[in-house]
Structure 1
Amino acid sequence: MKARRILIVECMQEISSFNPVQSGYENFDVERGEELYRQRGRNTAVGGALSIFEADPTIQVVPAYAARAGSAGLLSATGWTRLRDEMMAAVRDGLQDIDGIYVSLHGAMGADGELDPEGEILTRVRELAGDALPIVISLDLHGILTERMIRQVDGIAIYHTYPHVDFADTGARAARLLLDLLNGKRKPVIARCIIPALVRGDELITRTGCYGDLIGECRRLERDGTALSAGIMIGNPFTDVPELCSQIVIVSDGEEESARREAERLASEFWPLRHRMQGKLVDLDRAIAQARTLNGPVCFTDAADATSSGATGDSNIILEALLAAGYGRRVLAQIVDPEAAAAAHRAGVGAQIEVSLGGAMDPRRFVPMKVQARVQLLSDGEARLETMKLGLHAGPTAVLAFDNFTVVVMSRSVSLFDRAMYYANGLNPKAFDLVVVKSPHTEYHMFDAWVEKNFNIDAPGATSADVKKLGHTKCMRPIYPLDDIVDYKPAASLFSRPDAS
C-alpha cells in the first residue's frame, strides 16, 4: 500500500493589542523541515500529532515549518510578511503527493495590517493545496476562530484545559480526526455559535470552575460519539480584533441538526454564567495589609502584566507598593528591564549598583523606580517550561537583591506562567514569604497548593482582567462586559467543505 503523506505546519503566537511594543520575526523560534521532529515526545500539539501519525505504518510525515513565539505585542508588518512568506514557501515545497495537512495554530495572533493572520495562513494553504485535500487544525481555547478560518478547514480540535496541560492530547485528537478523513469515514459539519462575551477569572480554571463543567460536556460529546470534536473558545480579551468573542464549536459527522442543537445548548448554558466568569480583583493596599497578618507564604498574582497573555512584563507597581508600605518579609519577583540587566552584567556578581526598575517598555503605565541593589547572580536567561519543556530565552538576566527583595531581571519578555525562570536562576519560591507571579493562573501544584492565599491584584497593565478599562476599538459590539446586553438568543451557523458534503 502506498504511504499516505501528511504535511505538518505550525504557527503559534498570542498578542495583546494593548502592549505598546510591537513584536517581530526575531520573537519566533523557527523549525524547518526535519527540525520539527524535535517536538517528538513533548507536550506540544505537534508532539501529540506526531505520536499518532508515526504509530501508523501507512502514514509518512512531511514536516514543513513551525514557528512559535511567546505572547507579546502586535506583530510588526515586516515580521508578519517574512514569517508568512517563509511558511508558504515551505508549504509549497512540501506539497508534492500530499494526502492531508495538519496545521497547529494558537488563534490569537494579530499583525500590523493583518488582524486575522491565522485566517490568511489557512486561506493561502488552501489555495496551494486545492479543495480536495483535507485540512485539520488545532487551536488554543484562547484563540479567535474566524469565519475565514472555518471556511478553509475540514476539522478542528481545541484545548480542553486551563491552565493548559493538554497540548499533546489536542494534537493527537486533531491527528486522529485527519486520519479518519483520509480513511473516508467522516463527512464533517462544523457548527459555530458566537457568544458576545469576554470572560476572565478563576471560574475559567477547568479543574474547579463553571467553565470546566461546560468543557466536561464537550468531552462527553466526543466520547459518546455525538461529536467528532467539541470545544468552547473564550478568546483572548486582549487581542482586539473584529471577531473577538466567546464561541461554541461542534464538529459532527454530517449531522447538521445535532451539531446545531448542541452548539446552541452549550451557548445557552454559557450565557448566564458570564457574570461569574469575570476577574475578581483585590485592591493592592488591602492585599498587603492582609498579607502582613498571614503566617504562611502568599502569592501576589499580577495578571495585568502577564507576559503569557501579551503584556510587557515591566510593571513595578507591586514592588513600589510593598516598599512604600514597609512590608518587611522576603519578597521574590520578576521584571523585564533590559537596561537594568545590562548594568548588572557590566558590574558583575557581588557589585552594588544603582538602577531603575520598571517602565522600560510601557512608561505610560509604569514609572521607573530607583533602587540600590546587590548583583546576586548573572545568567544567560535560558530556561525550559515545566509542562511543555520548550525553551525560554530571556536574554542576559540578573538576580538583584535589595532590602528584603529578590528580583529576577530579564532582558526579554518570556512566558512566566510557571516557576521556570525562578528555578533557572537558583531561586526556590518556597523559600520566600511573598511571591509575585506575572500570570493569571498557573497549574495548581506550582503555587496554590502551598501558599496560604493567592491575591489577584488589581493593577494597571496591558492584560488587566478589568477589560472595560483597556480601550477596545475593533472587537464586535455590543459585547459583555463592555456593553449591557439585555437579550441573547443562541443561533449557530453551519459550515462544511464542498468536497465533504
Structure 2
Amino acid sequence: MTARPRIAIAGFQHETNTFAPFGASYDDFVRADGWPEMTTGAAILEVFPPLAIPIGGFINAARSTYDFVPLIWCAAEPCSFVADDAFERVATVICDGIAAAGGLDAIYLDLHGAMVVQSFEDGEGELLRRIREVTGPDMPIIVSLDMHANVTEAMVALSDGIALYRTYPHIDMIETGQRAFALLQQRLAHGKPLAKALRKAPFLVPLAAQGTDFEPCKSLYAGLPAGAKGAVANIDFATGFPPADIRECGPALVAYGTDETAVAAAADQHFARLLAAENRFELPMLAASEAVGRAARDGRKGAPIVLADIQDNPGAGGTSDTIGLLKAMVDGGLRDSVLGLLWDPETAKAAHDAGIGAEIDVRLGGRYGYDPAPYAARVRVEALSDGAFTCHGPILGGVAVDLGPMARLRILDEKSDVHVAVASIRYQCLDQDLLRAVGIEPKEQSVVALKSTIHFRADFAPIAREIIMVESPGANFSRNEQVTYKNLRPGVRKTPTGLAAA
C-alpha cells in the first residue's frame, strides 16, 4: 500500500494596526473570543472542519487523500504590535513541530498577512524564514491569507503559493482554504516550484473603500479566474491593510503557474485592471450628527437604518469604546435605536452587580483618548448575558463566541430611546446574534449603529433600509492622507487618486 502524503498544518492570525493604542500579548492568542481558543495537536482536526475558517476548508478538501500533522492554530483580535514573547512562543511551536514531524510532503499555513511584531515589520515573512531554516528550500509551503494582507516580497519568495480571500465581507474563507489545497496539488503535480509573480500597487486604499459588494472591488474580484487556466494556476489580489506603518503596506497581486512567461503576462493583465481602477474608489462618509439626522428622518421598525461606526471597528484595531456616535444618537433624539458592541468590562460588571431593572450611573467607553472623556449617563439594565453563545450569520456561522459578561443598557433620556449592547471582550459587531445575546432583535429597531467597517454587511444588509458610513473618531482611520507614516516606501500615495480628488 502506498503511503499517503503527510502535510503539517498550522494557523497564526493577527491583523496589526500599528496606530492602535495597545498590542497583543500571548494571552490574547490563548483565549477564545469571537474565534476559537488556541488549539493544538489532533484537536485541530475536530474543531475547525465545521467552521467557516480557511484551515477548515483546507482540511475538508484534503482529508480523504492526505494525512495531517496538526501543530497549532491561534488568533488574537486586531490591535497594535504583537508582543515578541507571543510571536516567539507560537513560532517555536510551529518550527519545532515541523522539525519533529519526520517525513513531510508539504506544509500548509493559515495566516493573515498583516501581522507586525514588535521586532519584525513582516511577521509572516519572519515565520516563513524560520520555517525554511528547518525545511530547506525544497519543501512545498502553501499559505492562505486574508484579503487585507500586506503581501511582502519575503512572503512570496519563501512560500510556494498564496491563496487570498476574494470577498469583503469575508464569506469565502472556506473556499480560500480549498483553493489553497488546489494550489498545493498543482505544486506537487508540477514536481518543482511554480513560477510566481508579485506586483505592488503605488497607492493605499482605506478599508471602508475595499468592499466587494460595490465598485471597483466588485468588478476587480469578479474578473479573477475561478481556477487554473492553462499554464496559470492562481491569481489573487490583496487590497492591503492601510493602518500598518510598514514599508510594504498596500495592495498587491500574486500569480502562480507552470510557465514563467504566461504567469508574468497574466499578472500584468490583472494588475493593469487594478491600476486603472484607482480613480474609481469612493468613501462616502457623513459626520455623526448628519448621519443621525438622516436616520431620524428615514429609519423605521422592520427596515432599520444601519449606521456604521467605521473608524472604531475592533476588527481593524479600533478600541470599540468611542462614544462620539452614541452621544450624537442621544442628542439627536433617536428612538427605537441601538448601538453595539461597546467594549466596556467595567460597565458590564456594574450592570451584572446591579441586576436587571436597576438604574445606575455609568461612565461608558471613552477611555483611550479618542473622546474628551467617557460618556456619563444614567441607564437602566434591560438584559444580561454571560456572553457565551453561538453565532449563525454568514461569517460566523457555527462559531461559539465568548465575549464575557454582556449587558443591554437603556440610556435614560427624555428626548430619546437609545440602547447600548456592552461586552467585556472587544469584538466586531458583524453578526445579528451578537445583539440578540442581550435580547435585541435588530430588525425591530429603527436605527442600528454598529462598530464595524464592512463585515456587518453580510448579515445586516439584508434587513437594512439604508447603510450610512459615519465619520467619527477611532483608531481605524479612513483618511490615510491625514496620517503620518514613517516607514512606508517612497512614492506610495496614501490614498487613491479618486479619493484625493473627492
The normalised TM-score by structure 2 is 0.90
1:41 maps to what in 2? Answer: 50
Q: Cα gap change, 1:467/1:202 in structure 2, threshold over 3 Å: closer, same or farther?
A: closer
Residue 476 (structure 1) aligned to one of 478, 484, 489: 489
| Cα deviations by residue, 1:29-71 (Å, 9 ceiling, x for unpaired) | 2111111111113221111111121122xx2111111112222
What secondary structure is seen at the aligned counterpart in 1 of 2:352?
helix
Answering whether residue 245 of structure 2 is matched by residue 240 of structure 1, we say: yes
2:272 maps to what in 1? Answer: 268
Residue 224 (structure 1) aligned to one of 216, 223, 229: 229
1:298 maps to what in 2? Answer: 305
2:468 maps to what in 1? Answer: 455
Q: Cα gap change, 1:88/1:420 in structure 2, threshold over 3 Å: closer, same or farther?
A: farther
Aligned partner letter, 1:4: P
The normalised TM-score by structure 1 is 0.90
| Cα deviations by residue, 1:337-368 (Å, 9 ceiling, x for unpaired) | 121112112222222111100113x2244520
Aligned-partner Cα distance in 2 for 1:397–1:202: 28
| Cα deviations by residue, 1:469-500 (Å, 9 ceiling, x for unpaired) | 33322222322235979xxxxxxxxxxxxxxx
Aligned-partner Cα distance in 2 for 1:321–1:473: 34
Alpha-carbon offset, residue 183 of structure 1: 3.4
Q: Is the 8 A contact 1:393 1:414 kept in 2?
A: no
Q: Cα gap change, 1:216/1:370 in structure 2, threshold over 3 Å: closer, same or farther?
A: same
Alpha-carbon offset, residue 447 of structure 1: 2.0
Q: Cα gap change, 1:379/1:471 in structure 2, threshold over 3 Å: closer, same or farther?
A: farther
Aligned-partner Cα distance in 1 for 2:138–2:494: 42
Within 5 A, what are the aligned runs for 1:40-79? 40-56=49-65, 59-79=66-86
**Residue range with higher mean Cα deviation, 445-454 or 404-413:** 445-454
Answering whether residue 289 of structure 2 is matched by residue 285 of structure 1, we say: yes
Alpha-carbon offset, residue 186 of structure 1: 6.2
Q: Cα gap change, 1:234/1:369 in structure 2, threshold over 3 Å: closer, same or farther?
A: same
Aligned-partner Cα distance in 1 for 2:452–2:54: 22
Aligned-partner Cα distance in 2 for 1:207–1:474: 32
Within 5 A, what are the aligned runs for 1:355-370? 355-360=362-367, 362-365=368-371, 367-370=373-376
Aligned-partner Cα distance in 2 for 1:325–1:432: 16
Alpha-carbon offset, residue 97 of structure 1: 1.0
1:91 maps to what in 2? Answer: 98
Aligned-partner Cα distance in 1 for 2:184–2:380: 56
What secondary structure is seen at the aligned counterpart in 2 of 1:460?
coil
Aligned partner letter, 2:229: D
Within 5 A, what are the aligned runs for 1:140-155? 140-155=146-161
Aligned partner letter, 1:53: A
Alpha-carbon offset, residue 329 of structure 1: 4.2
Answering whether residue 382 of structure 2 is matched by residue 373 of structure 1, we say: no
Alpha-carbon offset, residue 144 of structure 1: 1.2
Q: Cα gap change, 1:383/1:308 in structure 2, threshold over 3 Å: closer, same or farther?
A: farther
Runs of 4+ residues over 4 Å off in structure 1? 482-485
Residue 129 (structure 2) aligned to one of 118, 123, 126: 123
Q: Cα gap change, 1:20/1:113 in structure 2, threshold over 3 Å: closer, same or farther?
A: same
Alpha-carbon offset, residue 81 of structure 1: 2.5
Alpha-carbon offset, residue 214 of structure 1: 1.7
Aligned-partner Cα distance in 2 for 1:283–1:173: 41
| Cα deviations by residue, 1:370-416 (Å, 9 ceiling, x for unpaired) | 11111222222224443343333322222211231211111221232
Answering whether residue 437 of structure 2 is matched by residue 433 of structure 1, we say: no
**Residue range with higher mean Cα deviation, 75-84 or 382-391:** 382-391
Aligned partner letter, 2:93: E
**Residue range with higher mean Cα deviation, 171-180 or 454-463:** 171-180
Q: Is the 8 A contact 1:17 1:74 kept in 2?
A: yes
Aligned partner letter, 1:197: F
Residue 401 (structure 2) aligned to one of 368, 392, 410: 392
1:498 maps to what in 2? Answer: none
Q: Cα gap change, 1:200/1:484 in structure 2, threshold over 3 Å: closer, same or farther?
A: closer
What secondary structure is seen at the aligned counterpart in 2 of 1:86?
helix
2:480 maps to what in 1? Answer: 467
Aligned-partner Cα distance in 2 for 1:148–1:445: 33
Aligned-partner Cα distance in 1 for 2:273–2:496: 20
Q: Which runs of 5+ in 1 are unaligned?
A: 486-501
Aligned partner letter, 1:368: P
Q: Is the 8 A contact 2:240 2:251 kept in 1?
A: yes
| Cα deviations by residue, 1:101-139 (Å, 9 ceiling, x for unpaired) | 111111111121222111111111111112221111111
Aligned partner letter, 2:434: M
Aligned-partner Cα distance in 1 for 2:431–2:496: 34
**Residue range with higher mean Cα deviation, 256-265 or 204-213:** 204-213
Q: Cα gap change, 1:219/1:4 in structure 2, threshold over 3 Å: closer, same or farther?
A: same
Q: Which runs of 5+ in 2 are unaligned?
A: 30-36
How many matched pairs? 479
1:251 maps to what in 2? Answer: 256
Q: Is the 8 A contact 1:7 1:62 kept in 2?
A: yes
RMSD of Structure 2 on Structure 1 (CA): 2.1
Within 5 A, what are the aligned runs for 1:315-330? 315-330=322-337
What secondary structure is seen at the aligned counterpart in 2 of 1:127?
helix
Identity %: 27
Residue 402 (structure 1) aligned to one of 387, 411, 422: 411
Aligned-partner Cα distance in 1 for 2:155–2:299: 51
| Cα deviations by residue, 1:3-24 (Å, 9 ceiling, x for unpaired) | 2111101111112112101221
Aligned partner letter, 1:393: D
Residue 112 (structure 1) aligned to one of 118, 139, 151: 118
Answering whether residue 144 of structure 2 is matched by residue 138 of structure 1, we say: yes
| Cα deviations by residue, 1:140-164 (Å, 9 ceiling, x for unpaired) | 1101111111111111111111111
